[in-house]
A and B are shown apart, each in its own frame.
Chain A
Amino acid sequence: MVTIRAIADLRFMRLMLWTGLLGSTLLASNALLAQDEEAEEPPEYSRGGADTCLRCHGDEESAHILEIFEGPHGVMADQRTPFGGTQCEACHGPGDEHAGRVGFGQERPPIPAFGANSRATETEENEICLSCHRGTGTTHRFWEGGTHERQDVGCTDCHSAHVRKDPVTVASTQPEVCFECHVQQRAEVHRAYAHPIRFGEMGCTSCHEPHGSPSEAMLANMNVNQNCYECHAEQRGPYLWEHAPVTEDCTLCHNAHGSNNPALLTRRAPLLCQQCHSRLGHPGVGLTGNDLPSGNASAFLLSGSCTSCHSQVHGSNHPSGATLNR
């Protein structure tokens, strides 16, 4: 067991005070450490635009690059796309230096962005994408400050620009892109009971908004239950007889990424139910191996267990359904 109890001893005010002081100290140290950046000559654009680039990058070996002309970025008539503007250099940056003559034995200068050894940082490259993709009707507006941005995820870590169809935008191919980093979730969707992600019927974005949604766990909807109701509207109610945890958070009983139990439950009934119910009478009885078919086969244990009678666990609309069995 890992304990970090020392951290727990911190109380909020103390933490805030220390972080404030730390922030000020770091700010001062940063100012001392900061070095004036030398003013650099602004780079020049190439003379021929894409034609210049394609002199070297237009051969068979570069077929994967040329696929951009089949995709949405390669549409001249759409002024928002690279090829409606400064073509390759719209994203890769001014390329005159990169495309210029190079002396014998001299290394070719890298293209400013999105290339091998490019000098642009991840943040700068992301800014290039966002300069067009902000406000394209999606939630890119939430990118700054979102979890992925704070973890230095680059747009091109997930998206492919030089393709006809970006794999991360197709439900059947999207999970593999996400699983490159979210390796634990890849294992989870292979559990015995899981949403049909491994079958290509759902993508991660069916539930999550990876561009930094401020909702919990970057959910596409405002909270967990709203997310689930998108596909399971029958559970929304409100029911006459509600089951309190159901109204609060579906993940109290279900593990959305996968489970070893039917219906993605976190545990098997009756133990699932006995986490919260220990009433006088049958609910509190501990069921053992004596309740298997080899002993006294018990309806409280086998098949649906508690739900064989209390089948309306998500709520009941029956006037006599207070115990969720009608």
Chain B
Amino acid sequence: MRRRHHSGRFELRALAAAVLLALGAQAWAQEEQNAEADQEAGQEAEARDPGTPDTSRWRCRNCVFPYGVTGDILFGAGYVSDDFFEFGNFRGLEEQGAFGAFGVDLLYRNENADYVEIYGEKLGIDSRTLSIEGGRQGLYKAWLEYDEIPYFRADDTRTVFLGAGSDNQTLPADWIRSDTTFTMPALEASLRGVDIRHDRETLRLGIAFNRPDPWHYSFDVQRTVKDGNRIKGASFIFRAAELAAPVDYETTRFDARIGFIQDRWELEAGYNLSIFDNRNRSVRWENPFLGIFGAELGELAEAPDNTFHQVRLSGSWRQSRWLSVAGQVAVGRMEQDERLLQPSLNPRFADVGLPVDSFDGEVDTRIANLRITSNLTDRLRAKLQFDYDERDNDSDRASFAQVVSDTFLTGERVNEPFSHERKGVEGTLDYRLFSFLRLSAGAEFEEMERSLQESGDTDTAKYTAEARATPLSRLNLSVRASREDREDDIDPALLGPQENPDLRRFHFAEMERDSLRATADYAILDNLFAGVFFEVADEAFEDTEIGLSDGYAESYGLDLSASFSRAVSAHAFIAFENLEGSILGADFIDGAPWKAEQDDDFTTIGFGVNFNELPGKWVRASLDATYAKADGQIRIDKEGETAPPFPELKTRRFTLDAAIERMLLDNWNLRIGYLIGHLTEDDFFRDGVFADTVPTLLSLGEGTPGDTVHVVSAMLRYTFR
């Protein structure tokens, strides 16, 4: 850490916070005396109290414990009307045709509290999840879980590279290199389709013991495999190609905990280990453009194998309802020591050496927080919280020759292992002024120190005021306002000679942020509820002449829910959001100044209805519909340049999911489902950008989706009773 001149102020604040606590403690001591007196009175009363009742005559004869197997299984089939890749994202069902539809929700339990529970959803498609848990309730349990999440990004993408999706991507034998994509003679003939997708599969196994009191233990192992590809830019000097780069990751996580529990306090110690294994060390690709200085082969480093260990201790102590303390401390280490790649694959730079064979990366993390809560009186409550978060990057530093884009050698660069340390203190007072009105006030202070950046220290103060009221028995209101100020110690000289000296990076620039949130919940009738919310936040970076200068967010909405007996319930909502931001820049530092504004508007509308009872043999039905609309506008005003506006970014999505179920026989139901999905997007960053659209970019040609798909399904439900 470079500078610490603000830390004195921070500690002063922490001290002041402690004084507040001491004030509270004095009050608390008074109340505690009263509480003790009450407790004594209570103990006397307890002697008269039935306390533990005489349950010897409690037979629970009418209790219907369903020992054996209960629950249901669903099986059947469905049909997807059209191929629609993006519809399948996170869902499956991306291809036209039939699919198996299966689900399970079974529970076996016996009178000794032994149980096995099997739960599965969407078992016939790529987004399936299945879990099995069993044990003796109250003593131990073990679980096995499997989960799959598909990611479908694009199926209109095309590449010229052979071995797309692998770690070695070559050009066709008849490929003729050229300066631009406009003049690549073999381009069109060489393009082959490649889908951009990957799957995430997770298998989890665990066991937990709740005995002997007061100990509890748990062990959990999880293995996640992510397999497929993703889009990755690969460049030589000012010329780039988009690759379908491989994704072949495996992450293994181990978690062990041991806890000790008493009436008033509990403590848990845990150890967490996470091992990331990337099957690919790098991706090599042949330069489809004419390489400068023999740059014909490039290599991108893949994410290195890494390991993370962490020991975590957490606990709480409840002295009484007047005082409770909770906190956690975690000490961890992130490591990687992957063997380094060659500085360049260009034979011209074969003699450029490495200062080390592998990077001895090591980051220590130290995180702690402590929360003290006190009910100073029946009406007054205080909370004090301390936070500490440190990332101490202890990785080796060395000087590396830079072969830029495998094309030319520049000066050496020393790697910069970034560290930071965050300290925070927060105090809040809640006061119940009347039975229907509660007021809160809070103050938070945070100091952040960073190494190797132009700002070594930022101080942030945030003040919050809140009122919550129930002026009518059916009406709840709340208003919360906050003000946040951040100061920095930016030294523009540390930005470097090539950076614009007026640049202020937004995450440590001086900033003022105001926010207001108001909500109201009203029970219009006993079974009809309405809620409205409004939230606005305004950020101003007064000191910023280059960089993010303003940010604004506004949202408001209405929620309705109704229940008509237990048989029918319904809900509806509408929400509007607006996000804005202004960025200031200047071409080549002292060239044409420009101002860009991004403005995103969202509208989300939804409604749903559930019927848990229906006439005749119809058993239940449900319908859920959501419409989401997003519009994005980017405007840029640049001095001395007249340009057409950017087209609007648009997303429209409508989803309706309906199901109805009818009893066929005693234990057999038929469930008929219908799902319609409609998605369209306009995105000028991608639309109309094909392999040869941009002279210096060999694009994959990913376009935007636009289609509607219908899915019908019929399943039989067998219920175990």
Which chain B residues border A292 with CB–CB below 8 Å? 644, 646-647, 684
Interface residues of B in 57-109 (CB under 8 A from A): 57-66, 70-71, 90-91, 105, 107, 109
> Taking each of B235, B385, B573, which has the highest tally of chain A beta carbons within 10 Å of its own beta carbon?
B235
Of the A-B pairs whose beta carbons lie under 8 Å apart in the complex, a sample of 28, sorted by A's number, is A2-B481, A3-B514, A5-B483, A12-B461, A15-B463, A26-B379, A27-B27, A48-B57, A64-B566, A78-B113, A144-B326, A183-B557, A184-B577, A190-B653, A201-B149, A226-B365, A226-B367, A237-B336, A244-B450, A260-B630, A275-B583, A278-B500, A290-B641, A293-B693, A299-B697, A308-B697, A317-B336, A319-B342
Could you say which of A13, A45, A183 contacts B559, with CB atoms under 8 Å apart?
A: A183
Q: Measured between alpha carbons, how far is A308 from B564 in the docked complex, in Å?
A: 55
- A87:B58 contact, CB within 8 angstroms: yes
- A239:B382 contact, CB within 8 angstroms: no
Q: CB-nearest residue of chain A relative to B461? A: A12
Which chain B residues border A316 with CB–CB below 8 Å? 301
Given the known A-B contacts A69-B65, A238-B393, are A20 and B235 also in contact in the complex, defined by CB atoms under 8 Å?
A: no
Which chain A residues border B276 with CB–CB below 8 Å? 233-234, 236
Given the known A-B contacts A23-B23, A305-B685, are A288 and B588 also in contact in the complex, defined by CB atoms under 8 Å?
A: no
Could you say which of B16, B416, B547 contacts A16, with CB atoms under 8 Å apart?
A: B16
- B589:A137 contact, CB within 8 angstroms: no
Could you say which of B308, B481, B681 contacts A192, with CB atoms under 8 Å apart?
A: B681
- A20:B689 contact, CB within 8 angstroms: no
- B589:A280 contact, CB within 8 angstroms: yes
Given the known A-B contacts A12-B461, A183-B531, A186-B604, are A20 and B303 also in contact in the complex, defined by CB atoms under 8 Å?
A: no
- B113:A75 contact, CB within 8 angstroms: yes
Q: CB-nearest residue of chain B relative to A215? A: B369
- B507:A252 contact, CB within 8 angstroms: yes
Chain B positions 396 through 436: 1 when the CB is less than 8 Å from some CB of chain A, otherwise 0: 00001111111000000101111010000001111100000
Which chain A residues border B134 with CB–CB below 8 Å? none
> Chain A interface residue count: which class?
35 or more
Chain B positions 376 through 390: 1 when the CB is less than 8 Å from some CB of chain A, otherwise 0: 111111110101010
Chain B positions 27 through 62: 1 when the CB is less than 8 Å from some CB of chain A, otherwise 0: 100100000000001000110111011010111111
Q: Does B688 contact A (CB under 8 A)?
A: yes
> Chain B interface residue count: which class?
35 or more
Which chain B residues border A308 with CB–CB below 8 Å? 233, 235, 240, 242, 697
Q: Beyond the given A10-B463, A184-B555, A271-B596, please list 11 additional residue pairs across the A-B interface where CB-CB is below 8 A.
A: A7-B481, A23-B382, A27-B380, A51-B59, A70-B70, A76-B113, A80-B138, A136-B210, A244-B453, A275-B506, A309-B233
Q: Measured between alpha carbons, how far is A86 from B58 in the docked complex, in Å?
A: 9
Q: CB-nearest residue of chain A relative to B314? A: A141
- A319:B340 contact, CB within 8 angstroms: yes
Q: Measured between alpha carbons, how far is A310 from B308 in the docked complex, in Å?
A: 27
Which chain A residues border B512 with CB–CB below 8 Å? 8
- B598:A268 contact, CB within 8 angstroms: yes
Interface residues of A in 45-98 (CB under 8 A from B): 45, 47-51, 54-55, 58, 64, 66, 69-70, 72, 74-81, 83-84, 86-87, 89, 94
Q: Does A114 contact B (CB under 8 A)?
A: no
- A286:B596 contact, CB within 8 angstroms: yes
- B604:A142 contact, CB within 8 angstroms: no
| Stretch of A105-113, A153-161, A164-172 contacting B (4+ beta carbons < 8 Å) | A164-172
The 8 closest A-B pairs by CB, nearest first: A145-B373, A135-B261, A286-B594, A49-B58, A187-B575, A45-B53, A288-B643, A77-B113
- A297:B689 contact, CB within 8 angstroms: yes
Q: Measured between alpha carbons, how far is A237 from B41 in the docked complex, in Å?
A: 60
Q: Does B706 contact A (CB under 8 A)?
A: no
Which chain A residues border B469 with CB–CB below 8 Å? none
Which chain B residues border A30 with CB–CB below 8 Å? 377-380
Q: Does A205 contact B (CB under 8 A)?
A: no
- B306:A233 contact, CB within 8 angstroms: yes
Q: Does A200 contact B (CB under 8 A)?
A: yes
Q: CB-nearest residue of chain A relative to B324? A: A144
> Taking each of B327, B591, B604, which has the highest tally of chain A beta carbons within 10 Å of its own beta carbon?
B604
Q: Measured between alpha carbons, how far is A311 from B300 in the docked complex, in Å?
A: 9
Interface residues of B in 294-316 (CB under 8 A from A): 298-304, 306, 308, 310, 312, 314-316
Which chain A residues border B300 with CB–CB below 8 Å? 311-312, 318, 326
Given the known A-B contacts A12-B461, A326-B299, are A27 and B30 also in contact in the complex, defined by CB atoms under 8 Å?
A: yes
Q: Measured between alpha carbons, how far is A226 from B452 in the docked complex, in Å?
A: 22
Given the known A-B contacts A134-B266, A244-B453, A275-B548, are A286 and B16 also in contact in the complex, defined by CB atoms under 8 Å?
A: no
Q: CB-nearest residue of chain B relative to A173? A: B121
> Taking each of A26, A69, A141, which has the highest tally of chain B beta carbons within 10 Å of its own beta carbon?
A141
Given the known A-B contacts A260-B600, A303-B699, are A312 and B113 also in contact in the complex, defined by CB atoms under 8 Å?
A: no
Give chain B nearest CB distance to A82 CB in angstroms: 11
Which chain A residues border B336 with CB–CB below 8 Å? 237-239, 317
Q: Measured between alpha carbons, how far is A240 from B516 in the docked complex, in Å?
A: 42
Could you say which of B362, B380, B643 contacts A23, with CB atoms under 8 Å apart?
A: B380
